[in-house]
């Protein structure tokens, strides 16, 4: 039979056909060429790219590795390695480690969400989980030095202030101020016992005050002065001079205003005034 009019079968594909074959866009194929991940194929006389079986195999490898989540830079390193199979094994091992870490994080997120969903009311401020608090560490570590009848509102206040500081890590000074204090407590446990007793007793008396009139303010001021006077040494351990520019920083002022707003929301007027008196007294101690 004559083969004179039998057409020769085409053994190459054009870029649109390649893109459709792998379910990607022609823009993606061109990008792989641009970054050197996919070598340029031969060109036709009309300057069309002509993709051979070797080009398709290379692109298939790239697409497979992309489906595993590998970034293009890692794919290039694997394909350019003297022993691509060994390089791929190491890369996949690292990828597996990363996935395992992500699974752990996802499990923690899932547990936190499930816990939130079981609550009757969700505290929007705590959806990211409970930060590690020094107050809880102190309650466990120095249980024998803390009054057993510690006022619940005092404990709530201490926890809320720590949570607030933990919300802004760049301005959280707990790691700088509290560890030295805890070291001091280890060496002077009786001072800490007296401080917690006096602090708790003063807090309890605040609950007994009625309206915050001038007489009430005078009593509160005396409570604050007494607490400072009897516990001056241990309180001074926790005092550090502010950074030279921090006091004038707009961020410091804004955070201070936010803290005060939070205090007014969780404290009685007497408790709030008591803390303001303590703050003024400790400021004088810092300057002195």
> What pLDDT does residue 2 have?
45
CA neighbor of 238 nearest in space, from 279, 197, 190, 193: 279
Q: How far apart (Å, rounded) are the C-alpha atoms in residues 80 and 108? A: 38
Which residues lie below 8 Å from residue 125, measured CB to CB, with a gap of 6+? 163, 167
> What pLDDT does residue 1 have?
41
Whether pLDDT at 38 is above 50: yes
Does the pTM surpass 0.75? The reply is no
> What pLDDT does residue 198 have?
93
Phi-psi domain of 216 (left: phi exceeds 0; alpha: psi -120 through 50; beta: other) = alpha
Q: How far apart (Å, rounded) are the C-alpha atoms in residues 159 and 150? A: 13
Q: Which pairs count as long-range contacts for 36-44, CB under 8 Å and 24+ apart, including other chains?
A: 36/76, 37/62, 37/72, 37/75, 37/76, 37/79, 38/62, 41/12, 42/12
> What pLDDT does residue 187 have?
92
Whether pLDDT at 41 is above 90: yes
Task: Record the tokens describing residue 40, joined without a space.
Answer: 């340029």
> What pLDDT does residue 58 have?
92
> Is-contact 41 49, C-beta < 8 A?
yes
Task: Record the tokens describing residue 69, joined without a space.
Answer: 């989540």
CA neighbor of 136 nearest in space, from 182, 187, 188, 191: 182
Whether pLDDT at 174 is above 90: no
> What pLDDT does residue 234 have?
87
pLDDT higher at 57 or 2: 57
How far CA 68 is from CA of 63, 75, 131, 252, 264, in Å, comes to 9, 10, 34, 46, 53
Over the stretch 99-151, which tens digit does the pLDDT of each residue have? 999 999 899 888 878 877 787 665 554 555 566 788 888 888 889 999 888 88
> What pLDDT does residue 191 have?
93
Residue 218, beta-bridge partner list: none
Over the stretch 53-86, which tens digit does the pLDDT of each residue have? 999 999 999 999 999 889 999 999 999 999 999 9
Over the stretch 223-271, which tens digit does the pLDDT of each residue have? 999 999 999 888 887 665 554 445 557 877 887 888 888 888 888 899 9
Q: How far apart (Å, rounded) are the C-alpha atoms in residues 206 and 263? A: 15
Average pLDDT for 19-30? 94
> What pLDDT does residue 121 have?
61
Over the stretch 195-228, which tens digit does the pLDDT of each residue have? 999 999 999 998 887 778 888 899 999 999 999 9
């Amino acid at each position: 039979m004559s083969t004179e009019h039998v057409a020769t079968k085409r053994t190459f594909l054009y870029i649109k056909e390649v893109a459709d074959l792998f379910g990607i866009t022609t823009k993606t194929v061109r990008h792989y060429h641009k970054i050197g991940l996919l070598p340029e194929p031969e060109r036709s006389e009309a300057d069309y790219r002509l993709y051979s079986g070797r080009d398709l195999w290379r692109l298939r490898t790239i697409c497979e590795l992309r489906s595993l989540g590998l970034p293009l830079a890692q794919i290039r390193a694997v394909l350019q390695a003297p022993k691509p199979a060994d390089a791929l094994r190491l890369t996949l091992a690292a990828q597996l480690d990363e996935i395992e870490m992500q699974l752990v994080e996802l499990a923690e997120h899932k547990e936190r969400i499930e816990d939130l969903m079981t609550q009757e009311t969700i505290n929007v401020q705590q959806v990211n989980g409970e930060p590690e608090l020094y107050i809880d560490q102190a309650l466990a570590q120095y249980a024998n030095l803390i009054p057993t009848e510690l006022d619940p509102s005092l404990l709530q206040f201490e926890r809320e202030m720590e949570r607030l500081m933990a919300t802004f890590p760049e301005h959280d000074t707990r790691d700088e101020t509290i560890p030295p204090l805890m070291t001091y407590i280890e060496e002077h446990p009786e001072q800490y016992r007296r401080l917690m007793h006096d602090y708790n007793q003063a807090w309890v008396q605040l609950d007994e005050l009625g309206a915050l009139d001038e007489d009430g303010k005078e009593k509160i001021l005396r409570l604050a002065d007494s607490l400072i006077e009897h516990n001056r040494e241990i309180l001074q351990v926790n005092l550090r001079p502010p950074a030279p520019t921090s006091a004038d920083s707009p961020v410091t002022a804004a955070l201070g205003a936010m803290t005060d707003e939070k205090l007014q929301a969780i404290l009685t007027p007497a408790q709030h005034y008591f803390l303001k008196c303590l703050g003024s007294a400790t400021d004088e101690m810092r300057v002195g």
